[in-house]
Structures are given as C-alpha cells and as structure tokens.
Amino acid sequence: MKKILTGLKPTGELTLGNYIGAIKQMQKLQDQYESYLFVADLHALTVPQDPNELRRRIKDFLALYIACGIDPKKNMIYLQSENEYIPAISWLLECSTYYGEASRMIQFKEKSKQHKNFSVGLLTYPVLMAADILYADIDFVPVGIDQKQHVELARDIAIRFNKVYGDTFVIPEPLISEVGIKIKDLKDPSKKMSKSEENPNGVIALLDDEKSIRKKIMGATTDSEMNVHFDEVNKPGISNLMNIYSALSNKTIEEIEKEFEGQNYGTFKKKIADIVVETLIPIQERYHELLNSDELDLILDEGITKSKEIAKNKYIEMKKKMGLER
C-alpha cells in the first residue's frame, strides 16, 4: 500500500482553509493509503510562541483533526516533537541542503521580510519538513498549494542524498486537490485564508459559532455584477465562495453555476453559510467530547510508538551510510 503523510502547524486557529486544503483531503485518502498525520509543533517555534497558548493549541488541533473525520484506526496520529529522531534526521539533511535552495523558498522570503529579526529556524524549517516526510518513505504528501515548493525541496534533497550515499529515501510527490486548492480570505480574496490573519472577519475558524460564521459569509467581499460565475481573475470573491461550496457539497463548479443561475448573491451566500454551519457544528460537538475524555492520549501514545520505531531505523541507516559509526 502506498503511503501518505501530512502535518499542520499549531499556530493561530484552524480555519476552513485548513479543513478544505488539508484535513478533508486526508479524510478522503485515508481509505486508499497507509496514512500518517501529525501536529507540526516544532514548526510552530520558528516564530515566538507563548508556551501555555501553544500547549492548548496542540490539544485543540488534535481534537479537531479527529472531530473532522480523521479516523485514528486508519491514521497514525502523533506529535512531531515527541519523536526526537526527526530533528536528528533533519540535521543530517541540512548538511545535504544548499543555503541558496533554502533561502529561495517563497515563504522564507515573505516571512523574513516581515520581521527585522527572525530566527535561523525560519530558514531551515523546510529541511525539518523534508525530515518529517522522508523518514517514513512517504509516496504522496497532500498539501495546499502554498506548501508545494517545500515538498519539492524535500524531493530535491532526497534525490541528492540517494545519489551521494546510495538508495535511502523514497522520492515523495505533493498531492494538491483540484478544488479548495487555496481558500482565500473572505474580506481580501487576493490572499489565502490564514490561521495567523489579524482581521478575523475574513477567516472562518473551525470553532467559530453559528452566528459569526453566517455574519462572515454574508459580509464576504464580492463584486458589482449579479452573476454566480467562476472567474478567479475578475471575480475572486465569488470564485472563492464557489470553491468553498464545491468542496463542502462535492458539486462541480459547473453544477454550482447552473444551480444559482439568475439568483442574487444574497441567496448564494445564504446557501454557503448553511453548508458551512451544517459541516462545522457536528465537528464542534465531537471536538468537545474528545477534549473531555482520555481518548486523545491513547491515540497519541500508539502513534508515537510506531513513528519512533520507523524514524529510528531510518536514522541508523543514514548515519551508517554517512560514516557516523564507531
């Protein structure tokens, strides 16, 4: 069976963008692949974090994954920081990564511009991501388009390592779903709906209550036409809402255009608000149930035991090949 793996960084609050871009994809794929899913908590440290907030979010994220339909029986679920072999593997890979490659990453360029002082971790983080993927011989990595470049870097590093030290890693491929590729901010559809966005009106958090979900969708930026038609360049707001509706209803864009032919934006938005609420309310109920039981700890204990076993074997293999032995 082929293997897939994906991770989410516990920063900000989980949004509808993460649900559609990553979690929902994993949920569909969990029946066809051997699946690994982890909370990328080490990745959160690239920017300063409040320890108590981080601790709370790690639990929140896990409970939300599972509440969203990630089945612990079909997925190996774990916390990245509990597997100490992964940063060790990352170091070995860092020494096979060029500075030029790492500093060309779009996310690094953007994020480093935003701060006067930023950590070295912001630069090396894609290598840690490569370690996350490569240690487990993963075939496919379901991610949103913003992470595609990082998965490609993982491929390049793996190919280089294999060439120098002999066959060690499976070469992974990014898996980008066609719908929901990039869910945009509802207020400013030129940028992605982001967990770390400061203006919450454009972002639907998975734990938002019904009233604010409806308010945010009804207040989404559209255009001056009255035509539910998909055109990401000229009608980014409407196209974004169509992507959301398509991902949650499993209807195609063409079907949606037909469904709303001749209808005004108000009717269209109300329908989207309905489906978002119908999707999120049961998820929130299951989330609260999970946080109040010991189910999460049991799932994590099982996941980390398996993950460590796999990573340890890969680490030993790498060290040997690189000459790190007595």
First to last CA, the chain: 36
Q: Which of 184, 195, 216, 269 is catalytic?
A: 195
* Token pair recorded at residue 226: 């009255």
Rank residues 72 and 172 by Cβ distance to ligand TYM and give the closer one. 172
Which is closer to ligand TYM, CB of 244 or CB of 290?
244
192 is catalytic: yes
Question: Between helices 210-218 and 265-291, what is the axis angle to 10°?
Answer: 150
Among the listed ranges 28-36, 68-76, 108-116, 141-149, the one in contact with ligand TYM (CB under 6 A) is: 141-149
Smallest distance, Å, CB 122 to ligand TYM?
11
Q: Is 143 in the site for ligand TYM (CB under 6 A)?
A: yes
Interface with ligand TYM (CB under 6 A), residue from 72, 144, 236, 237? 144
306 binds ligand TYM (CB under 6 A): no
Options 3, 9, 155, 216; binder of ligand TYM; rule CB under 6 A: 9
183: contact with ligand TYM by CB under 6 A: yes
Give the list of residues 6+ apart from residue 100 with CB closer than 8 angstroms, or none. Answer: none
Tell me the residue nearest to ligand TYM as measured from the CB: 21
Contacts of 42 (CB under 8 A, 6+ apart): 80, 81, 86, 87, 128
Name residues whose C-beta falls within 8 Å of residue 198's C-beta, 6 or more positions apart in sequence: none
Per-position DSSP letters for 120-158, written without gaps between them: HHHHHHHHHHHHHHHTTT-SEEE--GGGHHHHHHHHHHH
No. of helices (H) and no. of strands (E), the chain: 14, 5
Question: Is 146 one of the binding residues for ligand TYM (CB under 6 A)?
Answer: yes
- For ligand TYM, the closer CB: 191 or 258: 191
Question: What residues act catalytically?
Answer: 111, 192, 195
| Footprint on this chain of ligand TYM (rule: CB under 6 A) | 5-9, 17-18, 21-22, 40, 43, 129, 132-133, 141, 143-144, 146-147, 180, 182-183, 192-193
